[in-house]
């Protein structure tokens, strides 16, 4: 999934990995600090096209952060509060990602912005 990350100091785009009702891995070209509070907007993107589903905005806290190769960073974000309605949205989106046909040349749905 594509994501927008809002911190106290900046706003930037990212992609997610290992998305669940409890949190997500966030990959971007910007580092996040452990303990940092963020707002995370999640957008469903299939085959490089953003779906017409409104984004999910959830608050979270960075529980770990590391640097990847080529200037990329990854952070583990735990959702600090997620309502039943937000969990339902997330369940629908995760089901759509599982059902999405593989992207050409790839091994599943891609989520880039």
Predicted confidence (pLDDT) per residue in 41-50, tens digit: 988 765 555 5
CATH code for the domain of 63: 2.40.10.220
Q: Is the dihedral of CA 91, 86, 107, 101 positive or negative?
A: positive
pTM listed for this prediction: 0.76
Domain count, the chain: 1
Whether 108 is covered by a domain: the verdict is no
Q: What is the pLDDT of residue 107?
A: 36
Whether 113 is covered by a domain: the verdict is no
Q: Summarize the confidence of residues 82-102 as an average pLDDT.
A: 77
Scanning the chain, the segments in alpha helix (DSSP H) are 84-99
The token pair at 31 is 């580092």
The token pair at 22 is 């409890």
Q: Please give the Cα distance from 93 to 88 (Å, whole number).
A: 9
**Whole domain around residue 56: which residue ranges?**
2-99
Whether 104 is covered by a domain: the verdict is no
Q: What is the pLDDT of residue 40?
A: 94
Q: Is the pLDDT of residue 103 over 80?
A: no
pLDDT band at 89 (very low <50, low <70, confident <90, very high): confident
Whether 30 is covered by a domain: the verdict is yes
């Amino acid at each position: 999934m594509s994501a927008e990350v809002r911190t106290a100091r900046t706003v930037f785009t990212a992609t997610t990995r290992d998305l669940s009702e409890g949190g997500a891995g966030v990959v971007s070209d910007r580092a996040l600090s452990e303990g940092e509070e963020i707002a995370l907007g999640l957008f469903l993107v299939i085959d490089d096209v953003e779906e017409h589903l409104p984004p999910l905005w959830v608050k979270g806290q960075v529980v770990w952060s590391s640097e990847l190769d080529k200037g990329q960073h990854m952070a583990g974000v735990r959702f600090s509060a997620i309502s039943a309605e937000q969990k339902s949205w997330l369940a629908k989106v995760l089901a759509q990602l599982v059902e999405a046909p593989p992207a050409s040349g790839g091994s599943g749905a891609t989520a880039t912005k």
